[in-house]
Structure 1
């Protein structure tokens, strides 16, 4: 038996921090005689855990009974699959829905619920039916059905928990909650939901204010529902805000129901997980919408954490900031114990339609893996690791193919292991990067990313934008403003500039965090809730330092004027210019060339930092307020790394890691409680990089130039203990580490690698010493083995 718990943002297995490296294999899409082959491939790729969905649609039979042991079909033997995984030395992560998506029809819900209970299918704006296969999560009939499903599926999972001597170390509750209504802009607005929202609004605001916000009496259900389904323009912003907030409360209650049901049916003693959706078209700019929808469902809940869906394709200078910020924002919505996990970590070629319209390079999974583990991700689930075949439904429904999924007979065309078991280039890439991660896993599992003393502001309200009534011009304008300026800044420049300039940073939820860091970086739109403006105003007056990029806020979320932050900073917005087909706003900064921008908000007050060329009016200013300071950059200034370094330096922040590479190199570091560090370098550029590196003004390796091939990464040990000795620094990556030996992989050109110890080694294979004997030079391209005598341990 084993213990599994979440503590201090770590995953503890038998009391020790561990990384969980998983891959998704769908037993229900594979004949049982193929299960062992896929599990062996999974283990050989470096995974220690298998993950799988459990589709209700497939396991429930026409007579209403549930088969989870293969008595009616061998591909229904969930219990046998988990037992086989255990026999192969693998852990398991189980994802039993009720919704599972995975290209399954009805998102994995049995057809009978749609056929026999049509009232469960919501209506939305203007009373129209929803366009997706979603259901009312909190409808009593659905909860009753979900309870019966959990009553069937949880006991065989519970019998195989790690705490009972089995393989299961975690269980996911539902999947991508709220995603279907978001991507279709279709909030659930049935009579029952509208009535529940009415009760929620009255409890929140009182009857009079609730009626005024929505524009309907609270004692007239029909009028109230009509006002929600088609908001009056003058109340549109308030109604949209209330719908979004209410839906977040619904998701919280739904997760609480599932959590309690799973425990009622025996799943106790292992962590639970909630999957957060939001990446789209190779970008992560919308990922925080999923966080904002769901974080109230898991924050502060013991032994429950969230995991990301990360579908970003290749990793380049375009979307590397998206991944970095997605992880930072996800962590900002966690409590002190909840670790980062990624429950769907894209590992495939991108050919999801089997039409060869997209092929991601195999090094993409290597780069994304390296960045995620550098940021403290403790669990990665490669999705999808192995493809398979969709079996026919037990009872035909006449939908064209009568299979469980809409992808046809074959599924998982892009996976590292294809439907028939063939390997593609992604398999080798996974194997390479997981070998590197596993070699450093004992350090990574107990390390945290270091940062440069500032945080990026996460404003969940900026992402309460998934719904907009098609007829509301006010809502359309508000959402467009938020989408342009929030999070990573206009043109995504803010996060990109900070990363490429050598900074690393966490994020902080400025709406709820108990403390804010000494320096805060905020990408802001014209809309910012009054209480957040008040908090930021007090923060600066009390000595905080703020970098604001985008627009100085002028409105509350309901559209009413609100200039609390501007007033506290002594600033006034005097106008705004935007680029047009015949007008090209340009700005100048002292000592820098004139540049064209897409917008410039004109400001009065403070010391000018940027001025518009046409009028000479300031659009970026440096101000003091109370005992604090703010730099307000209200123009989409380009990604001039020198400009952004200077702006941060003015607020007292410089990067602890400095390099002289061309743009495209990301650098950060992790450290454990004993002070052992790894220096993480990722070259996301399409060309090779050469650089020197300094850590806190001390040259790394004496200023030796490091070479990184295009699209490659390194994890360099920096102060790692080997029993009685310390590996001070090296150009090599870890291959193995014990209390007496370290095995290193050379990464540079032949003869250019080095490893520096504080004590001369006892024995060396594959290298030779120089100088005082503490410097070891590999003599070839093979592994370097360095051994120390345990008797010398101090």
Structure 2
């Protein structure tokens, strides 16, 4: 039985980590299935995930083969049975879209021949450049119903209630992605009729905003496909809101069909796309598009889909922010999951062009688990061979996918089944996660009173007519100022100081599930900001909250009309916006404490006029471009300049606004990140990631207790601060547990110069290692700092020059 509760995945009542590996049975010779599953189990995965391609299972005569009548590799039932025989769970991804480099994104070729009306046109009536469809076109939905009628009953036969391995079903894949990446909205005649009704319902000024609203269909089509500037601003915004609603209705159709055909008692999954060009900065576009398909919907989970390569200062910030923003629109029960968790070398072109650092998947997994991800699907775990199509189409290879004969070149298991150099590091990382499953499946990240303001409409930038200046002005502004702040300076600066923060959807400003406060919000501010969001931010300030803004002063709404709700509350007015050019190099300095942030080159600054505010930042000619001001009982700071990440400046301002850090971090080399987690049994862990190639000196103060560390390069540590393992409570450790059994504990290389472990026991402890010392300590005096979860009883302290193995009792 699978339940979703309190941001946990419960299987048979127990919190579990679902660690999956994607293996495409249809790309793997039938006689090798068992070997691939054995390799997956060796990695440590407890779950298999796979697409189930409609394109593969539909035969030329239109029938569906899911039991291997035509080819052994089509025997989905046999593959599921093999998973069950090995005690492995299964995540089904039956589409209808799969992507996965398949032809037509996994849809049968005949759909486009038989139903040309489902093929969208975009701006100016141009044909869509990708194999997308109008998701709600009646002909498409009828075909999807036929596919679901075939595949869902077979999956239902393998539900846990029937003794099967199926624990989740993904509905479609990366919905809306193709239209976004091509800036080609799906403007079919069917969709335009739907949009007309939606605008009538949602806009009180519909007739004046869209003069052709009540005219003939042809006039209406021209109005939308080739918009004039008079309504371009309204259309850009309306189209994104309408498509959110339409995607949600599409998922409702799929969910109803899956249920009708027997799927029940397991979560339905939505895969969120959005990373691009090795960066996660655009990922929240997928959240914006799909939020209404899963947010607050019982039994539905969202999963991230990310490809950013190595862990760097840039991508680590991306990863942390991706999780925070994804969780911001979940309800109090929905946990984080990742349905395509990048694994392997990153050499997706098979051209020896890239090789990820070996620690990459491990470090990402650790960060995601610390932030509350309960499901990780390593994609791809195993490559494979693209089979030939049953009917040649003359497209250059006549295979199932456009990648050629071999697929999944970067995977830890290559297309021929050989283990690549990334296999062993991934295996080590997965085994470490599962060693701590009891804690990680049940814990939550301990958060400070700080949050990133998630302005979801700042990511509603997927559509802009190429000839519209009105659309371009809004989109360019939003792209420049959103999320983690320009150059990711807000989030990165906070993370490198040790701030543990989440994100809040500022449309609703819902409280945290645990009731803890968000005293200060960090906002990447753009000129265009929704009126309701502006009002919510003002209310936050008036109630005594703090607001740190990085960006330009908001003075417009999302359609380009004047809107100064927040600006008026700040008592501010924007002046000239000065940008760099080849003969001008704008520079700024912190006015109040120049010793913290001296003269610094920036790419732009905006003049601010605010008589009642205190100058914080200024250009070298004295022009004020940063202010601090009182709003009700709260205070706000606006930095209207392209300042880079800077621990001194942002730390000074966060401290002034009243943030309190339960974890303080300083490192001799930037690139060490830390956070902490606590489970419902009181177990606690400190998570430290050194993403650099250095061994820096790191000082961490966690709730008043100091740790001095020298973490190894490209290494992560889960350090117990009150965890039950091996039958004993570990009060402190500066090394990671590598083995835990009945009466046995082993610790690896310490994150410090000398290993130190403190156990809550007075029983005899035998220790094997170099320069080992075992000391029984008396109870600590009252008021002495100690690890969380410790009591005042006697303790046993073990120190050593390196790894140790302990025998207890």
Q: Which range, TM-score by smaller chain?
A: over 0.9
What is residue 268 of structure 1 aligned with on the other side? 264
Which residue, 371, 375, 382 being the options, matches 1:375?
371
Asked if 1 retains the 8 angstrom alpha-carbon contact of 2:451 and 2:503, the reply is yes
Deviates more, 1:283-292 or 1:577-586: 577-586
Alignment of 1:126-145 (within 5 A): 126-145=124-143
CA 1:259 to 1:698, structure 2 compared with 1: closer, same or farther past 3 Å? Answer: same
Alignment of 1:666-705 (within 5 A): 666-700=673-707, 705=708
Shift of 1:117: 1.0
Number of residue pairs matched?
Answer: 779
Q: Deviations over 1:97-123 (max 9, x none)?
A: 000010000000000101111111111
Q: Deviations over 1:133-184 (max 9, x none)?
A: 0111000110010011000001111111122211111110000000001001
Asked if 1 retains the 8 angstrom alpha-carbon contact of 2:662 and 2:703, the reply is yes
SS of 1:638 mapped into structure 2: coil
Deviates more, 1:133-142 or 1:616-625: 616-625
CA 1:728 to 1:749, structure 2 compared with 1: closer, same or farther past 3 Å? Answer: closer
SS of 1:200 mapped into structure 2: helix
CA 1:134 to 1:588, structure 2 compared with 1: closer, same or farther past 3 Å? Answer: same
What is residue 761 of structure 2 aligned with on the other side? 759
Asked if 2 retains the 8 angstrom alpha-carbon contact of 1:746 and 1:778, the reply is no
Deviates more, 1:337-346 or 1:653-662: 653-662
What is residue 792 of structure 1 aligned with on the other side? none
Asked if 2 retains the 8 angstrom alpha-carbon contact of 1:526 and 1:553, the reply is yes
Q: Cα RMSD (Å) of the superposition?
A: 1.7
CA 1:568 to 1:50, structure 2 compared with 1: closer, same or farther past 3 Å? Answer: same
Asked if 2 retains the 8 angstrom alpha-carbon contact of 1:210 and 1:218, the reply is no
What is residue 645 of structure 1 aligned with on the other side? 651
Task: Output the CA distance in 2 between the equivalents of 1:783 and 1:11.
Answer: 34
SS of 1:754 mapped into structure 2: strand
CA 1:598 to 1:780, structure 2 compared with 1: closer, same or farther past 3 Å? Answer: closer
Asked if 1 retains the 8 angstrom alpha-carbon contact of 2:167 and 2:267, the reply is yes
Deviates more, 1:679-688 or 1:165-174: 679-688
Task: Output the CA distance in 2 between the equivalents of 1:372 and 1:597.
Answer: 33
Shift of 1:744: 2.9
Shift of 1:672: 0.8
CA 1:97 to 1:242, structure 2 compared with 1: closer, same or farther past 3 Å? Answer: same
Determine if the alignment matches structure 1 residue 654 to structure 2 residue 660. Answer: yes
What is residue 439 of structure 1 aligned with on the other side? 435
What is residue 350 of structure 2 aligned with on the other side? 354
Alignment of 1:235-314 (within 5 A): 235-314=231-310
Asked if 2 retains the 8 angstrom alpha-carbon contact of 1:754 and 1:775, the reply is no
What is residue 466 of structure 1 aligned with on the other side? 462
Q: Deviations over 1:355-406 (max 9, x none)?
A: 1112212211111111111111100000000011011111112212211110
CA 1:100 to 1:723, structure 2 compared with 1: closer, same or farther past 3 Å? Answer: closer
Determine if the alignment matches structure 1 residue 596 to structure 2 residue 604. Answer: no
Deviates more, 1:519-528 or 1:687-696: 687-696
Which residue, 89, 105, 116 being the options, matches 1:91?
89
Shift of 1:737: 4.1
Q: Deviations over 1:721-774 (max 9, x none)?
A: 358753111012123446x64523222389811111232243324255433253
SS of 1:171 mapped into structure 2: strand
Asked if 2 retains the 8 angstrom alpha-carbon contact of 1:586 and 1:595, the reply is yes
What is residue 537 of structure 1 aligned with on the other side? 538
What is residue 200 of structure 2 aligned with on the other side? 202
Alignment of 1:135-534 (within 5 A): 135-206=133-204, 209-515=205-511, 517-534=518-535
* TM-score, length basis structure 1: 0.96
Task: Output the CA distance in 1 between the equivalents of 2:804 and 2:173.
Answer: 43
Alignment of 1:75-114 (within 5 A): 75-114=73-112
Asked if 2 retains the 8 angstrom alpha-carbon contact of 1:645 and 1:654, the reply is no
Task: Output the CA distance in 2 between the equivalents of 1:655 and 1:666.
Answer: 14
Shift of 1:778: 5.8
What is residue 711 of structure 2 aligned with on the other side? 708
Asked if 1 retains the 8 angstrom alpha-carbon contact of 2:8 and 2:441, the reply is yes
Alignment of 1:529-678 (within 5 A): 529-589=530-590, 590-592=593-595, 593-605=598-610, 606-662=612-668, 663-678=670-685
Q: Deviations over 1:267-322 (max 9, x none)?
A: 10111100000001111110000000001011111111100101010010021111
Task: Output the CA distance in 2 between the equivalents of 1:140 and 1:430.
Answer: 45
SS of 2:720 mapped into structure 1: strand
Task: Output the CA distance in 2 between the equivalents of 1:726 and 1:523.
Answer: 43
Asked if 1 retains the 8 angstrom alpha-carbon contact of 2:306 and 2:342, the reply is yes
Task: Output the CA distance in 2 between the equivalents of 1:511 and 1:220.
Answer: 36
* TM-score, length basis structure 2: 0.94
Runs of 5+ unmatched residues, structure 2: 512-516, 778-794
What is residue 743 of structure 1 aligned with on the other side? 745
Runs of 5+ unmatched residues, structure 1: 789-794
What is residue 787 of structure 1 aligned with on the other side? 808
Q: Deviations over 1:77-133 (max 9, x none)?
A: 111001001111211111000000100000000001011111111111111110000
SS of 1:318 mapped into structure 2: helix
Asked if 1 retains the 8 angstrom alpha-carbon contact of 2:101 and 2:403, the reply is yes
CA 1:372 to 1:749, structure 2 compared with 1: closer, same or farther past 3 Å? Answer: closer
Asked if 2 retains the 8 angstrom alpha-carbon contact of 1:569 and 1:624, the reply is yes
Task: Output the CA distance in 1 between the equivalents of 2:539 and 2:389.
Answer: 61
CA 1:712 to 1:260, structure 2 compared with 1: closer, same or farther past 3 Å? Answer: same
Q: Deviations over 1:31-58 (max 9, x none)?
A: 1110111111101011000000000001
Task: Output the CA distance in 2 between the equivalents of 1:330 and 1:583.
Answer: 40
Asked if 1 retains the 8 angstrom alpha-carbon contact of 2:576 and 2:607, the reply is yes
SS of 1:692 mapped into structure 2: strand
Task: Output the CA distance in 1 between the equivalents of 2:267 and 2:574.
Answer: 49
Task: Output the CA distance in 2 between the equivalents of 1:191 and 1:439.
Answer: 55
Alignment of 1:18-97 (within 5 A): 18-97=16-95
Asked if 1 retains the 8 angstrom alpha-carbon contact of 2:775 and 2:798, the reply is no
Which residue, 728, 731, 735 being the options, matches 1:732?
735
CA 1:778 to 1:82, structure 2 compared with 1: closer, same or farther past 3 Å? Answer: farther
Asked if 2 retains the 8 angstrom alpha-carbon contact of 1:732 and 1:744, the reply is no
SS of 1:52 mapped into structure 2: strand
CA 1:609 to 1:716, structure 2 compared with 1: closer, same or farther past 3 Å? Answer: farther
Q: Deviations over 1:513-567 (max 9, x none)?
A: 3348322111111110111111111221122211111112011011011111010
Task: Output the CA distance in 2 between the equivalents of 1:641 and 1:728.
Answer: 31
Asked if 2 retains the 8 angstrom alpha-carbon contact of 1:214 and 1:231, the reply is no
SS of 2:560 mapped into structure 1: coil
Task: Output the CA distance in 2 between the equivalents of 1:183 and 1:364.
Answer: 26
Shift of 1:234: 2.4
Shift of 1:190: 1.2
Task: Output the CA distance in 1 between the equivalents of 2:753 and 2:580.
Answer: 54
Deviates more, 1:712-721 or 1:269-278: 712-721
Shift of 1:191: 1.2
Task: Output the CA distance in 2 between the equivalents of 1:130 and 1:613.
Answer: 47
Task: Output the CA distance in 2 between the equivalents of 1:313 and 1:751.
Answer: 31
Asked if 1 retains the 8 angstrom alpha-carbon contact of 2:618 and 2:624, the reply is yes
Shift of 1:783: 4.9
Asked if 1 retains the 8 angstrom alpha-carbon contact of 2:755 and 2:801, the reply is no
Asked if 2 retains the 8 angstrom alpha-carbon contact of 1:661 and 1:691, the reply is yes
SS of 1:632 mapped into structure 2: strand
SS of 2:245 mapped into structure 1: helix
